[in-house]
Structure 1
């Protein structure tokens, strides 16, 4: 915590938020504040926020001045008027090495189980005097349903939670621009609190001197202090494909479109990389999507074939045929095979013996069995077929073989 020597202008108004209404973090931009006379704890100033141990700091250009915040912090808030700050690793004086100034906030609603969310916070190191002189890599975000308050000296200085998001690129040492710590995660369900800070032990915390720091000796006896602004947690809507109950007409095409429509990439199992694809056959189509937030999702849809033309004609079977090579009724076969898309035809004699079988659309019986012309008489057929709409049917009956 820093002690301020600047004059604070007392205001009772609340400033408007600057983060999207999708944000589940209460007062995630640190713009809403109250005045608590003499209060130095985070919760004395910021509705929805509180501290774990010691006192994270609150900076607001409306309470100070723009020049005052700029001079003291070396920077202004990323947006709006407010930001917070606290040390994340300390070797200063009598302070324990494991000391952390976590900031803890409230969510407007519990997170849903097995649901994809995105979290982010913008951070910037402060370089202030010989004792605040190095940066760390391990700034993380924890989502939990626990309210952490360190009431006694026996409690751990470090909150033992696993961050859902943790910065891992390099030590955060950028002094000009704010660094975004962000990522996607699947919620366990029921999380109502957000905690930001360094959740690693000192031994596992990566450190480096900040540009313009005050030397090696001070580095080993100093501390790391970070500013925080614009905290966001939002649900990522599930990816989907439209139409979601897809039917394609025979001999036609269909357009499939993946959502969300502002994704960074689309990768279909057809090899296409566009938001929409045009298909011409039934199959299961899937797409892998990288959202604008960098979250990876997958969606699929099963496409079936449907006949969209005129009504199918009734299938007719002859009641007699004469296989005598006179070029008239020499074969037993469907009389209108153009109206079916597939068939299996079996023919039996009066003893139940199958004398003919075909599964070809142009299949037909010439009256022979084992290279011999069958006897005159009654025969029976069993026909399974698909009509022009691809609907399955069974037709059976008897007919007469004549000569």
Structure 2
């Protein structure tokens, strides 16, 4: 069957959600007593659980469980002639009967499982159809919310209450199809856990359309599947993110509404997204997510402190670009450390780290110059202050050289050098000769110049003499001479 949708928005809202139906016994299926075969008389009690008359005029309750010849069987052609939308039962009310004076009205009064909440938006809807008893179509199909504990007693005429919701469009005239009548409502008062459906307006404020040639104007309205539910969509989505952060827009809301988001997620700039529910009876939901730029705290480099005491006792609590935060762990001036800066304002400010180097440079004792070749000598691999490493180039026992020490590990990587001096081996010989009965010994240089020698120490048989030149007269030292003599220089 084709179903039309009459939608009256009492409050314009951008957010909707779906929850369980708050109406108790929404399709009139649960009964507390036998159903009547004939139309209900004035003041007759309702056998339908959680439903009753809104005034002294009693509504009718149809059921396909009754005998086919009953007035209130749904398919009786003289009364309703319409099968239930769901289940077996539905209600019927007279919203106009021109034979009655004053103006006759029937109402049905329902009950909610819990009170409506102030400020929450609800969908209020039910299906309607004209019964065959109708001779006219009409509008002014309204809903009045009440506290169910209220004792309301009205004559079978217009209830003097103003409905919160009301269909005031063209007269409803469809005998053949169940049509959804839908409203949205946001309460402004508390303790509303009941409601009344019917026409709350006089005839001169109600539009009618005659559908038969009879002079009787009767509007007999069938009602089924009444529902009231919270339609405010809930999402656990942040209002703001940092640029580049992961953003997930779930396709199912916190309260179970499925739908699709548009446009595509963009975590680089502020965007307004629209969630369109798959259920066309629900309104779309809009969410603007602000994308904030990410700030990086900026600090000047501190150190390195190599062979020096740090000139600070703590790290700065405010960055160069004005971000306030704290460092952890506490600054230690005695060793190299990696410190983490955590901003006080966490939103879109990065946590940064800084390495502060506090270390020593390797030190070595000087190497005494070599006067002789020592092929077994090696440079020390551990400095005097306990730092291990290696030297380059490889040690050369034959030549003077400057060597560079590279440490195995550490933060202060300044080069340490060490000079090793190797004096050359002097090659010479002694020349002895006589001249006028005087015996001389002379030092003859082979690979060096005697001018480079400032002082020669002579030894005769291990006794030092005062001569320092390169030639001596042995006749002057006869007192030191023996049969076999040893002459040396040092």
Give the structure-2-normalised TM-score. 0.50
Q: Deviations over 1:340-386 (max 9, x none)?
A: 9969xxxxxxxxxxxxxxxxxxxxxxxxxxxxxxxxxxxxxxxxxxx
The equivalent of 2:193 in structure 1 is 192
Distance in 2, matches of 1:290 and 1:43, equals: 45
Q: Is the 8 A contact 1:255 1:276 kept in 2?
A: no
Distance in 2, matches of 1:196 and 1:148, equals: 16
Q: Is the 8 A contact 1:139 1:181 kept in 2?
A: no
What is the number of equivalent residue pairs in this alignment?
A: 283
User: In structure 2, do the counterparts of structure 1 residues 391 and 138 end up closer, same or farther at CA, with 3 Å as the change threshold?
Assistant: same
Say whether 1:53 aligns with 2:56.
yes
User: In structure 2, do the counterparts of structure 1 residues 301 and 87 end up closer, same or farther at CA, with 3 Å as the change threshold?
Assistant: same
The equivalent of 2:210 in structure 1 is 209
Say whether 1:316 aligns with 2:301.
yes
Distance in 2, matches of 1:391 and 1:125, equals: 67
User: In structure 2, do the counterparts of structure 1 residues 35 and 256 end up closer, same or farther at CA, with 3 Å as the change threshold?
Assistant: closer
The equivalent of 1:143 in structure 2 is 145
User: In structure 2, do the counterparts of structure 1 residues 312 and 289 end up closer, same or farther at CA, with 3 Å as the change threshold?
Assistant: closer
Say whether 1:233 aligns with 2:228.
yes
Q: Is the 8 A contact 1:288 1:299 kept in 2?
A: yes
Say whether 1:280 aligns with 2:268.
yes
Q: CA deviation at 1:119?
A: 0.7
Structure with bigger RCO (C-alpha 8 Å, 6+ apart):
1
Q: Deviations over 1:239-288 (max 9, x none)?
A: 43634553333xx774545764857786xxxxxxx16522313x4x4445
Q: CA deviation at 1:62?
A: 1.1
Distance in 2, matches of 1:200 and 1:258, equals: 44
The equivalent of 2:444 in structure 1 is none
Q: CA deviation at 1:159?
A: 3.8
Distance in 1, matches of 2:112 and 2:66, equals: 26
Say whether 1:27 aligns with 2:34.
no
The equivalent of 2:91 in structure 1 is 84
Q: Is the 8 A contact 1:66 1:76 kept in 2?
A: no
User: In structure 2, do the counterparts of structure 1 residues 297 and 56 end up closer, same or farther at CA, with 3 Å as the change threshold?
Assistant: same
User: Secondary structure of 1:203's partner?
Assistant: helix
Q: CA deviation at 1:60?
A: 0.7
User: Secondary structure of 1:280's partner?
Assistant: coil
User: In structure 2, do the counterparts of structure 1 residues 89 and 229 end up closer, same or farther at CA, with 3 Å as the change threshold?
Assistant: same
Q: CA deviation at 1:238?
A: 3.5
The equivalent of 2:372 in structure 1 is none
User: In structure 2, do the counterparts of structure 1 residues 245 and 253 end up closer, same or farther at CA, with 3 Å as the change threshold?
Assistant: closer
Q: CA deviation at 1:42?
A: 6.6
Greater fraction strand: 1
Q: Is the 8 A contact 2:140 2:200 kept in 1?
A: yes
Q: Is the 8 A contact 2:294 2:350 kept in 1?
A: no
Give structure 2 stretches of 5+ with no counterpart.
Answer: 1-17, 304-318, 323-347, 353-490
User: Secondary structure of 2:232's partner?
Assistant: coil
Q: Is the 8 A contact 1:114 1:186 kept in 2?
A: yes
Q: CA deviation at 1:127?
A: 2.5
Q: Is the 8 A contact 2:268 2:291 kept in 1?
A: no
User: In structure 2, do the counterparts of structure 1 residues 203 and 136 end up closer, same or farther at CA, with 3 Å as the change threshold?
Assistant: same
CA RMSD of aligned residues (A): 3.9
The equivalent of 2:281 in structure 1 is 293
Give the structure-1-normalised TM-score. 0.59
Q: Deviations over 1:203-251 (max 9, x none)?
A: 11111123xx2x1xx34x32111011000001123343634553333xx
Distance in 2, matches of 1:264 and 1:65, equals: 44
Aligned pairs for 1:31-110 (under 5 A) are 31-35=29-33, 43-51=45-53, 52-65=55-68, 68-72=73-77, 73-92=80-99, 95-110=100-115
